[in-house]
């Protein structure tokens, strides 16, 4: 298998780190992104990954800003090489019931979680098509499928990913470029661990398999969809949620 260059946005989060490891374990050269202004934290993360045997380049990136994405992509292509695999993982939450949700909370989430899909895909898509190979995986969410109280912004953005994924999957299908989505359920990450114990217990009680998912279970789904021999899978969504939502 030839080595590919894989980009994972939001690399230092619980899911992002697992995805970086999975891509590296597949033999790819992995490039991650981190939020501008968190340079020291990113450096510590990179060093920690190196101690685990993973040599992962990492660059600052604001996925909500198109110019930042273009600059990031240009830097990666200059210093590492052309991007073959793109995993759009970076995202945020700004939760509030609709009656109390402020315009800024809506806009911040839509720009980061949905506009970022265009911002990252548009600058790399044509080159992938020209080379005859590309793998794009957009990370959506269980709550994009079923909705969630207090997450009108997040659920809307994550649901929008499905339409975007299907549309550009059609554009890349005959050019060797596949585009798919993965929708994690509740995963055992630092973000989920901040949920109060009583609330988390009720969440787990509603998951048919009876437990939280592990980050590695999401990264295996991403690795499957980005594999060299996954060229007949495109425009689909892979739900990894322990049976909590069955579509």
User: According to the model, what pLDDT value does residue 3 have?
Assistant: 87
Q: How many CB atoms lie within 10 A of CB 97?
A: 10
Distance (Å, whole) CA 155 – CA 30:
29
Tokens standing for residue 64: 């909500």
Which pLDDT score, from 0 to 100, does residue 4 have? Answer: 97
- pLDDT at residue 51 in the model: 96
Rounded Cα gap, residues 27 and 199, in angstroms: 40
pLDDT less than 70: residues of the chain:
1
**Phi/psi of residue 243, each to 5°?**
90, 5
Question: Is 154 a known active-site residue?
Answer: yes
From 154, 162, 232, 245, the catalytic residue: 154
Closest to 160 (Cα-Cα) out of 68, 72, 216, 88: 88
Residue in the block written with tokens 């499957």: 224
Three-class SS of 57-97: EEEECCCCCHHHHHHHHHHHHHHCCCCCEEEECCCCCCCCC
| Domains (range + CATH), the chain | 5-238 (3.40.50.720)
Residue 22 — left, alpha, or beta (φ > 0 → left; ψ -120 to 50 → alpha)?
A: alpha
Rounded CA-CA distance 118/73 in Å is: 13
């Amino acid at each position: 298998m030839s080595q590919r260059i894989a980009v994972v946005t939001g690399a230092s989060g619980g899911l992002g780190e697992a995805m970086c490891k999975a891509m590296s374990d597949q033999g790819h050269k992995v490039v991650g992104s981190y939020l501008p202004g968190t340079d020291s934290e990113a450096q510590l993360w990179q060093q920690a990954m190196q101690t685990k045997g993973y040599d992962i380049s990492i660059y600052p990136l604001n996925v909500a800003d198109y110019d930042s994405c273009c600059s990031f992509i240009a830097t990666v292509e200059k210093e590492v090489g052309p991007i073959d695999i793109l995993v759009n993982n970076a995202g945020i939450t700004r939760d509030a019931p609709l009656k109390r949700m402020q315009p800024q909370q809506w806009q911040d989430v839509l720009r980061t979680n949905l506009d970022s899909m265009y911002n990252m895909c548009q600058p790399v898509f044509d080159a992938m098509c020209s080379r005859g190979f590309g793998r794009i995986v957009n990370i959506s969410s269980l709550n994009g499928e079923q909705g969630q109280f207090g997450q009108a912004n997040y659920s809307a953005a994550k649901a929008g990913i499905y339409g975007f994924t299907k549309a550009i999957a059609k554009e890349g299908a005959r050019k060797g470029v596949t585009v798919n989505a993965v929708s994690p359920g509740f995963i055992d990450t630092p973000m989920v661990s901040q949920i109060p114990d009583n609330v988390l217990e009720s969440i787990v009680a509603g998951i048919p398999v009876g437990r939280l998912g592990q980050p590695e279970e999401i990264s295996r789904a991403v690795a499957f969809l980005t594999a060299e021999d996954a060229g007949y899978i495109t425009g689909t969504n892979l739900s990894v949620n322990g049976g909590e939502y069955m579509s």
